[in-house]
């Protein structure tokens, strides 16, 4: 997979040389190129921002450097994008749609991602509109990490590239780790333990040392269901009860969730004694 990142702080992406992502790059499974947006300015101050039309606080990123940067990066050529491929343009912004594990999986199947990292109050809206009409661009996605505001898109790119790179075939040593982790089945992960058996007075749950793989799988599943019900009711509400077994349903019922008329989970109304 090829990844291009355009912004005014290309050095911000240095952590992508480390750990899993760094190894994916040195083994050739992933190619990441960071570009300095100011390379496509033409004034002495290398200006990338201007005041907003309509007034208001802060500055907006000018469209011209972005247009020229995208012309150059999307043209590919020597050291450029994959031959014959079209790029998915990803615009990190708190106004985007949520970045999820499902979107990470979608990106991991693509040949080419191009990220535009905005700063200040964002990028002139015409940049994304014009990019979406370009033949080298397959689609433009505005994505958000969550409901809070970062100072720019670079930290989001670190997150998104790491989430995607670990899904690329050959990047993880043991691909089984992908099938049992949080969010792959709409649930949070069960708690994990290693040696020693007792640590600072706390024992590892006995069942995990029983060797009974059926009971261990059930305990892990119930732990995941209870944890999800406790901290992420939105994830329980999004589950399809038809995809769960009787033991799953019993565990969720004990945690206060039952299937309603519409076939979705709903919280059990509290029982008020009269």
Query: Which residues are at the interface with ligand 6GU (CB under 6 A)?
Result: 92-94, 143-146, 148-150, 152-153, 156
Nearer to ligand 6GU, 149 or 272 (CB): 149
Least distance to ligand 6GU, CB of residue 62, Å: 18
Least distance to ligand 6GU, CB of residue 246, Å: 39
Nearer to ligand 6GU, 97 or 215 (CB): 97
**Integer Cα distance of 219 and 208 in angstroms:** 9
- Residue, CB closest to ligand 6GU: 92
Give yes or no for a cis peptide into 142 (omega within 30° of 0): no
Nearer to ligand 6GU, 76 or 92 (CB): 92
Nearer to ligand 6GU, 34 or 255 (CB): 34
Least distance to ligand 6GU, CB of residue 153, Å: 5
Nearer to ligand 6GU, 81 or 92 (CB): 92
Nearer to ligand 6GU, 108 or 150 (CB): 150
Least distance to ligand 6GU, CB of residue 150, Å: 3
Q: What are the tokens at 231? A: 């901290």
Least distance to ligand 6GU, CB of residue 84, Å: 29
């Amino acid at each position: 997979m090829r990844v291009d990142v355009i912004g005014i702080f290309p050095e911000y992406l240095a952590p992508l040389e480390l750990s899993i992502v760094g190894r994916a790059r040195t083994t050739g499974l992933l190619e990441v190129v960071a570009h300095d947006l100011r390379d496509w300015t033409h004034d002495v101050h290398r200006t990338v921002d201007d005041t907003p039309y309509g007034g208001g606080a802060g500055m907006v990123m000018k469209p011209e450097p972005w247009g020229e940067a995208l012309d150059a990066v999307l043209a590919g050529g020597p050291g450029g994008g994959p031959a014959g491929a079209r790029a998915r343009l990803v615009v990190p912004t708190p106004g985007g749609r949520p970045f999820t594990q499902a979107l990470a999986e979608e990106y991991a199947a693509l040949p080419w991602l191009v990220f535009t990292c905005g700063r200040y109050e964002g990028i002139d809206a015409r940049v994304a509109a014009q990019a979406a009409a370009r033949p080298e661009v397959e689609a433009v996605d505005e994505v958000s990490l969550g409901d809070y505001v970062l100072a720019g898109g670079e930290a989001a790119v670190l997150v998104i590239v790491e989430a995607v790179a670990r899904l690329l075939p050959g990047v993880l040593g043991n691909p089984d780790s992908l099938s049992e982790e949080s969010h792959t089945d709409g649930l949070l992960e069960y708690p994990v333990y290693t040696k020693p058996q007792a640590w600072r007075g706390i024992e590892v749950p006995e069942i995990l040392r029983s060797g009974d793989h059926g009971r261990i799988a059930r305990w892990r599943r119930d732990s995941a269901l209870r944890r999800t019900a406790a901290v992420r009711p939105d994830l329980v509400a999004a589950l399809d009860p038809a995809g769960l077994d009787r033991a799953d349903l019993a565990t969720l019922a004990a945690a206060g969730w039952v299937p309603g008329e519409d076939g979705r989970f709903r919280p059990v109304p509290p029982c008020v004694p009269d």
